[in-house]
């Protein structure tokens, strides 16, 4: 029996609340934090940075989350793996070969970034809240995309790096071309999978954001970004119900855009496979890093500590660069036990998102009215589950060329997945089909 008595425009079924009630001003306050964090307001406005505005905003938001939001539901397996992963990070801290750096990374990145996951779970309790959150996230990405286009056109954010002119970001978080490309790639799954649910005005904004993101991926000259874009296209192809249309559209877009791409970027892409670079020896350096990382892992199978690889590598080999590879970063930093837990966490994320998608799709096929609020809510949950799966897949592809273990992306995905799981549980409480994780 599917949900059949769902009041349009409300959150009640059979006279009962489906989702925990949170006031719009509180959700808006949380969305303000999303904008402030992603746009790094403290960096852009020196006066706010001087008073640590982002920290105090997060501090107040944490109090609001604990005091003014309903109890969080954390009774599914994914939460267990998240807590286990956090425990692994915490345990590694005192045994680090570079304690000072490990402590800084733990406080400045792990604690700070995991707070976003906590806030998402606390404040995103319904499809309506989810829309607010996604709007804030994509608006921040829209602003960064606009800056990327302006910076490329004016040349203010373009300078030579590894033999070609590359686009850079405006804030420290995304200054490096690879980081900027990663940010842009993270928007594409949400643009694509939210497109069918959007009205004409929203579609126009999403189309502009899509072009902003592609501009960044192309002109950062990031081979990592090019690989991520390929993974995005493959995911879209396999997730599509009309694969021929996707292939034709992609082929047509490539034919139209190909003449606009400078020759240097073609050479940059080809160097992924040939390892022949116009300038520099980054490919050779990466091979050397891999060999060093494998040896460090073999000698320290239980891990050397959070972000301690550069120091250990310098002491052992006289070379300082970090792993430039997510999987080697996990293995060397957290050891075999950390690598296993990280893999289990990823598996649980994909499994949970897959379960949500299958459950929502099953209910959608049984609903007679596509214009009903229930249908629209289920579609949103289903599409965001797909987008988040694609987001994680892209991050895993980018991880082959970058050390992203301590970045915010994983906590973003964790927060969204748990929030979706809780929404699905609230809905399935009124549905005999049910859902399991």
Other C-beta atoms lying within 10 Å of the C-beta of residue 236: 19
- Please state, in angstroms and rounded to a whole number, the distance separating the CA atoms of residues 332 and 339: 9
Nearest CA to 419 out of 138, 7, 82 is that of 82
pLDDT for the residue numbered 332:
96
pLDDT tens for each residue of 292-304: 999 999 999 999 9
Please, which residues bridge with residue 88 across strands? none
pLDDT for the residue numbered 266:
62
pLDDT for the residue numbered 397:
93
pLDDT for the residue numbered 434:
43
pLDDT for the residue numbered 14:
38
Which residue's structure tokens are 């200054």?
A: 175
- Please state, in angstroms and rounded to a whole number, the distance separating the CA atoms of residues 184 and 209: 9
pLDDT for the residue numbered 19:
87
pLDDT for the residue numbered 274:
55
User: How large is the angle between the packed helices 409-428 and 373-398, nearest 10 degrees?
Assistant: 150
pLDDT tens for each residue of 226-283: 889 989 999 999 888 777 777 887 777 777 666 666 666 666 666 555 555 554 556 6
Tell me the chain's radius of gyration from C-alpha atoms.
22
Give residue limits of the domains in the chain.
12-428
pLDDT for the residue numbered 76:
81
Q: How many residues does the chain have?
A: 437
Q: What is the DSSP letter of 73?
A: P
pLDDT for the residue numbered 15:
37
pLDDT for the residue numbered 432:
45
Q: Say if residues 420 and 356 touch (Cβ distance below 8 Å).
A: yes
For 321, the 3-state DSSP assignment is coil
Which ranges of the chain have pLDDT less than 70? 1-16, 256-283, 430-437
């Amino acid at each position: 029996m599917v949900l059949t008595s769902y009041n349009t425009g409300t959150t009640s079924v059979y006279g009962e609340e489906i989702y925990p009630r949170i006031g719009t001003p509180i959700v808006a306050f949380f969305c303000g934090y999303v904008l402030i964090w992603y746009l790094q307001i403290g960096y852009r406005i020196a006066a706010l940075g001087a008073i640590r505005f982002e920290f105090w905003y997060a501090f107040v938001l944490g109090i609001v989350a604990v005091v003014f939001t309903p109890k969080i539901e954390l009774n599914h397996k994914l939460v267990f793996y998240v807590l286990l992963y956090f425990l692994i990070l915490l345990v590694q801290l005192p045994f680090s070969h570079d304690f000072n750096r490990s402590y800084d990374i733990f406080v400045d990145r792990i604690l700070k970034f995991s707070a976003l996951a906590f806030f998402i779970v606390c404040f995103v309790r319904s499809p309506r809240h989810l829309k607010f959150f996604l709007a804030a996230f994509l608006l921040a990405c829209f602003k960064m995309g606009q800056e990327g286009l302006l910076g490329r056109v004016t040349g203010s954010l373009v300078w030579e790096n590894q033999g070609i002119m590359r686009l850079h970001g405006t804030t420290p978080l995304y200054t490096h071309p690879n980081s900027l490309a990663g940010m842009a790639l993270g928007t594409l799954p949400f643009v694509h999978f939210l497109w069918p649910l959007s009205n004409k005005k929203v579609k126009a904004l999403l189309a502009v954001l899509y072009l902003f993101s592609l501009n960044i991926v192309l002109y950062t000259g990031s081979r990592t970004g090019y690989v991520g874009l390929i993974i995005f296209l493959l995911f879209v192809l396999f997730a599509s119900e009309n694969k021929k249309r996707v292939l034709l559209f992609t082929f047509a877009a490539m034919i139209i855009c190909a003449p606009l791409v400078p020759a240097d970027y073609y050479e940059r892409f080809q160097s992924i496979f040939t390892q022949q670079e116009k300038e520099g020896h980054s490919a050779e350096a990466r091979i050397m890093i891999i060999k060093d990382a494998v040896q460090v892992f073999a000698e320290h199978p239980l891990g050397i500590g959070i972000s301690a690889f550069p120091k250990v590598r310098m002491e052992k080999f006289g070379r300082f660069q970090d792993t430039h590879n997510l999987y080697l970063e996990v293995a060397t930093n957290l050891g075999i036990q950390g690598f296993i837990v990280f893999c289990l966490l990823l598996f649980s994320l994909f499994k949970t998102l897959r379960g949500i998608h299958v459950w929502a799709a099953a209910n959608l096929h049984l609903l007679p009215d596509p214009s009903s609020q229930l249908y629209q809510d289920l579609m949103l949950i289903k599409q965001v589950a797909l987008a988040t799966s694609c987001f994680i897949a892209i991050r895993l592809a980018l991880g082959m060329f970058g050390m992203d273990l301590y970045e915010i992306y994983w906590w973003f995905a964790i927060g969204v997945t748990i929030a979706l799981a809780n929404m699905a549980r609230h809905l399935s409480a009124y549905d005999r089909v049910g859902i399991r994780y």
